[in-house]
Structure 1
Amino acid sequence: MPAETPNVDMALNIVNPELLVGLLLAHLLADFYFQPYSWVKQRNERHALALPLYLHALLHGLFAFIVLLLFSGNVSKTTLVISTAIIAVSHFKIDVIKSYCAQNTTTFMADQIAHIIMILGVFLYATNQWQSAQQVLQQIDLKHLAVVLAYLAVLKPSSIVIKQLLSPWSGEVLTSSAQPKHPNDPPTISTEAQQTLSLAGQRIGYLERVLILTFVLLNQFSAIGFLIAAKSIFRFGDLTKHQDRKLTEYVLLGTFTSVTITITIGLACRAMF
């Protein structure tokens, strides 16, 4: 292992990192702070015919041009112009494609990833670091793949496994909480509200397992105890008000199942290091 350290350090020796950070900062400013909601609305309604979309792309090009001019060093004028054009044109095309898609979290993440990839490409082109990028890719080994696999495993696959493990009790909990047992009991949650809470619970489960896996990989098991304790405190009031022992047991069973699965995946991942 020590013999590989010099290669890794050489591969990660980025030339002119100020340019990369500057391009990312320019994207952040142009995409989130200098883009009014009215521009976004017109883009989603009129797509490529929306004038604000062209203004938005030009603004990205202008910000990128300023950053390239300040931090690219002795780059040629041709490289400067081509890099600026790539930023502006690629941003326009990516946003046009996004305007035809459903406006949800998945689309937003895909849009931002595409923009960042283009920025990285422009950075490598302007600084001529393609060989360094290849060296970085060559350093990917079992450890990196194991970490990626672990994070993917604690998301949807784990959710499906947890749902299947809890399925013997799911129907019983829903049936027992379908109708109030006493006039003073809390009102029954509507079907639409239950679906919304279910989606919120899924997202909470994702975040919980990602945090626990991160703590396991960092060997910070005490932080896992703090996370579980904090969640228990927040849920205690809701479960007490609900006065449903079955629901309380169901929530605890789901929490400990999620924690057990995540810790197991994390320990298995660490065993590959």
Structure 2
Amino acid sequence: MNAPPQTVLITGCNRGLGLEFVRQLATLASSPSCIIATCRKPDNAVALRKISNKYPFVHILQLEVTDRENIKKLKEQVRDILQGRGLNLLINNAGVGPGGDLYDVTEEIMMNTFKINVVAPLLITQAFLPFLKTAAKTTEGIGLSWRKAAVVNISSRLASIETNDEFLVGRYSYKTSKAALNMVSKNLGVDLREDCILALSLSPGSVRTDMGVPSAPLLPHQSVEMMLQVMAGLNEDDSGAFLNFTGELIPW
């Protein structure tokens, strides 16, 4: 694996993929010097606190991703932690995965899912852009990479419109929100290229988490290990892309 980023912020770290991202990044031989792990209720995040107690460079901060005032507060807390350093990697992992099939989906389900899965990642990225830009300017290296400055939005293979009939049917709120998140990633990839910031959507595959399928083929540590390998190899050609955890392009 190529040298990891020095500063990382991850949302949704109390369990599942977010927790595993923190664990694996913290235990790398050359780990980041600062990992900021956010979750809604830090006091209840027992496993996350165990990691933080073992690795002092893991900072746990509270974040309700749909609360704009909370995002502003988090920005100030992160500024204090970074102390002038930039933010090399932002992983927008927090999300929800409700059902919502044709005959039971509601406006409330749709709107809440979009707020969490689409609007929140965009506004969080917007809030932390100054730190990402600082990292892009001050980190050595040519081209785009996860070590320099990157935004990774955790999407889903179910967001693929072209292959929709090959996977789980229905799931209107989840599928459409992740498809919209992919457009956010594509837009960011275009808009942030001149700032040397990479942005893309990454699918973790079918993972055995609380949001996933109990019989899913992948365990969280397997998915995250492969996603980190993909992130380590990212370059300017990948910005704005929709990639699988294997590194393969997923059809839009």
Q: Same fold (TM over 0.5)?
A: no
Larger strand proportion of the pair: 2
What TM-score does the superposition give when structure 2 sets the normalisation length?
0.29
Larger helix proportion of the pair: 1
* Larger-gyration structure (1/2): 1
